[in-house]
Structure 1
Amino acid sequence: MKCSASHRQLIIITLLCCIPAMVTAQANIGRKVKRASGKIESGIKKNNPDTLAGGYFDLGESYYQNGEMGKAETYYQKAKSLFEKMDDAAGIAKSSRALAKVQEDLKKNKEALGNYNTARDNSQKTGDITLNTLNGNDISRLSKPDSVLLQERLIQSNIDLGIKKGDTGEIVTNFSRMGELNLKYKKTTGAINAFKQAYQFSINNPGQAMKFNDIITDVYLQNKNFSKAIETKKDFLGQGYVQSSSQLKAREITSLADIYIQKKEDTTAIQLLNESYDLSVKNGHTLEARTSIERLDSIFQSKGRRDLSLQLYKNFLQQLPAIIARDSSIADNRIVAETETRVRQLETEKNLKDDLIRRKNNFNYWLIAFIGILVVFIAIILNMVKKLRLRNKKIALQSLRREMNPHFIFNSLNSINQFIANNNELEANRYLTKFSTLMRRVMENSKEDFVLFSQEIDLLRNYLELEKSRFDDKFDFSIEIDDPLFADERLYIPTMLVQPHLENAIWHGLRYIADKGFLKLSFTRTGPGVEIVIEDNGIGIAASKDSKTANQKKHSGRGITNTMERISILNEVYHQNIICEVEDKMAPDRGVRVKIIVPVLKDFKA
């Protein structure tokens, strides 16, 4: 039965649609990818970047050994990024070198050079001299690609280092580089020898061994050396792992048949292709069976035997469901596809989780920053309020000090007026002279809250002398001071706290007694402060209040009230503990006793 061209084309299209597009893979690529995926999943779930980086690196290795350079580059890059985040010099060196090798195979020499530099820098940190030299050689090699002798010397140096280190991967990679270099410069024998060395060192890695066997075979075919090409292919077919793998064996038998097709020995080629087809059908290798069918169809078409082609396709279509059912490579590819999907899903989940954490952290940072700014703002406001209050207190102190001056002047002018009223002009003049001296001291001292102890004593002594000249027949006075208080010339005490009490003692106590009274003023050092005692034997507080007229009671003096207010503000502003106690003496004694405890400051600064 003859088949039209359109009918045959329809059968082929149907066949191609029934068979998934897939590549020849190692039998264990699915398992390797699955193991690496397991590490990635564990690293993500446990938030362990070291395990995650290791999983990405292993996944890159799996794809690299399987010849899938694009995927290998992707996962090596992910591993490198994680190692960089952990600042793991050994991990960075390892992943950067692996990434550079892949990029060099992909002809991305600029990127490869950058990663070789990164690998060298980090191998220096770890002290790995061999790895440092390997990276240095590759940097020099890529930096001077046109120097053939330098290229050969550096590649050979890497081969020697790989042999010394026992690193099969480095040995195979660099023998492959040597073969490519020789091919580039038409050195066929050197290229074949280098690729044969790479083949021998990768003999335990079927995928790599197959790759180099194919390269050697292609070199022979390019030079029309069919016998060597056949010998090379048969040598690989004789390997134990090829004979034990029906898929790999079928694939290699087809490759051998291709050589005979090029050699124009169709009969031998047909026998080999039939052998490959039967082996593929029997063991469920869909892709290999399809390839064999396509090769046989090509031969039959060239001989005009379309009937044989049609019979082949009919037979294949009948057996296709059973072949696919037994095809483990489809399951392997499905595992790989599912694993890649799972890895992408895990990465998406991790990215979403990281993004959520990042957003949460950003919110927390903004919240903390806002709270911090608010706290600083509140602190500034409180500090301003505190300073304002302090300033107001100092203004109040200043106002109270200044209020003392008119009070004191008013009382003094009354005394002068009394002298003049009594026609005692000489005493008025003397009093006025003393008064002007005293007023100068009062004005000077009233500028500050604390004055030198010696200045305050002079002021008080002048004041008592002035009042004594007015009430000479009413009282005598004494001032007693501890020697230690005279020893230090830089002691400061609050000003104008004592004078109002002296004035009260004279004007409201001593001047009302019939006999001559006595006023005693003493200063005693008590630890960090000074105890000031004012004693008089006047009529006392109670009697003084009783003797006041209604008008006097209505217009009571501001001296003592002012002094008590100043004490309160001084304690608050300067954090002191000034104490003032006023009391009548116990019978049979008469008079008033005032005790003031004030701090003594050294080198006071307002």
Structure 2
Amino acid sequence: MKRHWLISFSVLCIVLLFPQRTIAQAMPVPKAEKSKQVKISKAAEDLSVSLDENDESKIAVNYEKLANEFLNNGDNAKAEEYFKRALNSYTKLKRTEDKTRVTRSLAKVQENQKNFNSAIKNYEVAGSLSKDVAEEKINLNDANRLKNQSNPASQTNYVDSNIELLKKEKKSQEVTEAYVQKAQNSLDLKDKSVAIESYKNALAYAKDKPESVIKIKNEIANVYASDNQFEKAIGINEKLLAEAVTKQDFNTQIKQLQSLATLYFKKEEPKKALVSLKEAYDLASKKGNSAEAKNTLSALAKYYKSNGNEKESMALYEQFFQNFDELIQSDTTLINAKTFQVTEGKIRQLEKEKSLKDELITKKNTFNYFLLGSILLLLLLFAFIVKALYAIKTKNKEIALQSLRREMNPHFIFNSLNSVNQFISENKELEANKYLTSYSNLMRNMMENSNKDFISLDKEVEQLKKYLDLEHLRFQDKFDFEITVDETLDAERVFVPNMIIQPHLENAIWHGLRYLDKKGFLKLQFRFIDGKVVVVIDDNGIGLTKSQELKTTNQKVHESRGLNNTNERIGLLNELYKKNIAFEIKEKALPESGTIVQIVFPLIDKI
């Protein structure tokens, strides 16, 4: 029979450790317990929604929220799991402040599980991430506290430092934890009076945390019990029991009854201990707390066995088995565990889906970046080609402009050599020598500037004066000339187009003034009007109409080519330099005769 009951008890323990799947109508749940269950379920549901939405920011917040709910429920392993996930999300989001907070929380749950190496590492990481000096010091104090576990006195120094810092930071919950740590260090140092004082200080900062208050008071009771001050310890437990009865906090009632039983056994008052245990067992069975019912039954069975009272032990087992199905069906913790298991399964599935989505997004982004990079390279290549073509086009225009400018030189050289030949044929050697000297000076200047599109006004005036001096030397009985420059123009700084004016002076002399029966006059003026340079070539020759009538076919072709050359050069200069140079030639109205050429361009002081 004894063996039968021992086997039955073993089966009972296995059943309780591995609950059945049976879920039935649950009995009313205490408010405090219900609140915990609701908070965990709500946090899990919020996490599911954020995972479904693939909102990384909300996912991180909800991971942390769920981890904190597990921590409040005393499940450090689950809390660590979800703190790690929150940390990964905050790392992705590059939110340093959140990373610092979660890393510290992770270190705390690892410390609670005695995983000190990981806790030290995370305290140090939290310290290195902290932007606040005080926060950095707090984390490093905790890391050093754990490194000095073999030296409780040194640990106390770090705890005291943290208490002061946390008070300044007004972090009441962490001040509570620090005072609890100080109490535990004091117990390691065998200083129970300081331990009790530290626990009482912790109570002052845990007023708004009823669960923390109960836990701390139980620790104080344990200290009194270890010092054989049983009445004080019992008084604390009885007061906590009375408060739990008032609040209908059945779980706290069960635990306080168990604690009272332990104290009565130590005080060697087994009858009172048995009364407390039976009351705890009845309450646990009635309220569907199978785990505490098992624990209380084990304590009772142990006592009866040690006292040889097999009959009472068997009666308890029989009663337990009779109520077993009802107990399991009414145990809301099993229902809640199963409900959370389903929710957690959904969370895992959503995490896998999120991982696949993130992978797809990463691949898509990689492809998009590759595509954008390819398009950018093509655009750069296109821009390079356009730039190269533009450079080639510009160079061609420059070559064309230079070619057109040089095209004017052969005609001028031909005319000049004819003039020398005429002087020689007329035995005017002095005039011929003088002409050749002036001509050589002019040609040297023209050659020096032959590769320039613009030259300074003073050089242009000098060059044009030398040219007019040459022509006047040959046709001195045909015309006089005058060159005037506006006083507001700085001849050394203002630039003018090279070899644009000279062909018009040549036309005025050769096709207008030289056919006059009297001596004509040629005026070259450089004016500054409305911010623009206006060049005016004014002659009182025979005019355009009569000049056309007197020209040979060859002269007409040459003049036409000369005008086209000038127009082409002005067009190229406008394209290359965007100077908007304008050119106009018109005949004077009767009774006057002659031609006026006007060239207008903006004030150019830099090329």
Q: What TM-score range do you get, normalising by the shorter chain?
A: 0.7 to 0.9
Residues in 2 aligned to 1:557 and 1:416: alpha-carbon distance in whole angstroms: 26
Counterpart residue number, 1:396: 400
Q: How many residues are treated as equivalent by the alignment?
A: 591
Q: 1:551-588 CA deviation, whole Å, 9 max, x = no partner?
A: 66677774333222222212222222332223444455
Within a 5 Å distance, the mapping from 1:212-251 to structure 2 comes to 231=234, 235=238, 238-241=241-244, 244-251=248-255
Q: Distance in 2 between matches of 1:456 and 1:119?
A: 73
- Kindly report the root-mean-square deviation, in angstroms, between the aligned alpha carbons of the 2 structures: 5.1
Q: Determine the C-alpha separation between the residues in 1 that align with 2:162 and 2:498.
A: 93
Match of 1:238, SS state, is helix
AA aligned opposite 2:453: D
Deviation, structure 1 residue 408: 1.2
Q: Which deviates more, 192-201 or 66-75?
A: 192-201
**Mean CA deviation greater in 322-331 or 243-252:** 243-252
Residue of structure 2 equivalent to 1:481: 484
Aligned to 2:38: 31
Whether the 8 Å contact between 2:104 and 2:126 is mirrored in structure 1 is yes
Residue 25 of structure 2 is aligned to residue 15 of structure 1: no
Q: Are the counterparts in 2 of residues 179 and 191 from structure 1 also a CA contact under 8 Å? A: yes
Cα 1:447/1:135, change in 2 over 3 Å: closer
Once the two structures are TM-superposed, the CA of residue 337 in structure 1 deviates from its matched residue by 4.4
C-alpha deviation, 1:550, in angstroms: 5.3
Deviation at 1:448, TM superposition (A): 2.2
Q: Label 1:353 to 1:242 Cα distance change in 2 as closer, same or farther (>3 A).
A: farther
Instruction: Provide the C-alpha distance between the structure 2 equivalents of 1:462 and 1:175, rounded to a whole number of angstroms.
Output: 106
Q: Say which is worse superposed, 180-189 or 150-159, in terms of deviation.
A: 150-159
| Runs (5+) with no aligned partner, structure 1 | 125-130
The residue that corresponds to 2:26 in the other structure is none
Equivalent pair of 1:523/1:533 in contact (CA under 8 Å):
yes
TM-score, length basis structure 1: 0.75
- Counterpart in 2 of 1:184? 188
Residue from 493, 497, 506 that aligns with 2:496:
493
Aligned match of 1:128: none
Deviation at 1:100, TM superposition (A): 4.9
Unaligned runs of 5+ in 2: 22-29
Match of 1:537 in 2: 541
Shift of 1:27: 5.1
**Aligned with 1:520 (options 519, 522, 525):** 522
Q: Is the 8 A contact 1:493 1:599 kept in 2?
A: no
Query: How far apart, CA to CA, are the structure 1 residues paired with 2:589 and 2:263?
Result: 137
The 2-side partners of 1:443 and 1:166 are apart by 89
Partner of 2:173: 169
Contact 1:56 1:79 in 2 (8 A): yes
SS class of match (1:28) = helix
The amino acid of 2:585's aligned partner reads V
Q: Distance in 1 between matches of 2:419 and 2:205?
A: 125
Shift of the 534–441 alpha-carbon distance from structure 1 to 2, 3 Å rule, reads farther
CA contact (8 A) 1:3 1:306 kept: no
What does residue 328 of structure 2 align with? 324
**2:568 aligned to which of 562, 565, 570:** 565
Change (3 A) 1:556 1:526: closer
For the pair 1:67 / 2:78, whether they are aligned, the reply is no
Partner amino acid, structure 1, of 2:77 = G
Written as runs of structure 1 = structure 2, the 5 A alignment for 1:120-131 is 121-122=131-132, 124=134
Kindly indicate whether the alpha-carbon contact (under 8 Å) linking 1:38 and 1:55 is maintained by their aligned counterparts in 2: no
- Matching of residue 440 in structure 1 with residue 436 in structure 2: no
Cα deviation code 1:66-121 (max 9, x no counterpart) = 332333445556667888968686x7786666555444434435236426746975
Which amino acid is 2:70 matched to?
Y
In 1, Cα distance between the equivalents of 2:202 and 2:479?
Answer: 124
Deviation readout 1:278-316 (Å, 9 max, x if unpaired): 433333222233334444555666788888777755654
Q: Does 1:105 align with 2:112?
A: yes
Q: Corresponding residue for 2:579?
A: 576
SS in 2 for 1:239: helix
Give deviations 1:219-261, integer Å, cap 9, x for gaps: 78888x6967984795367332157344443455456556778
The aligned residue for residue 409 of structure 2 is 405
1:529 deviation in Å? 0.6
Q: SS of the residue aligned with 2:499?
A: coil
Alignment deviations for residues 372-406 of structure 1 (CA, whole Å, 9 cap, x no partner): 66555555544444343333322222222222222
Q: Secondary structure, in 3 states, of the residue corresponding to 1:19?
A: coil
What SS does the corresponding residue of 1:481 show, helix, strand or coil?
A: strand
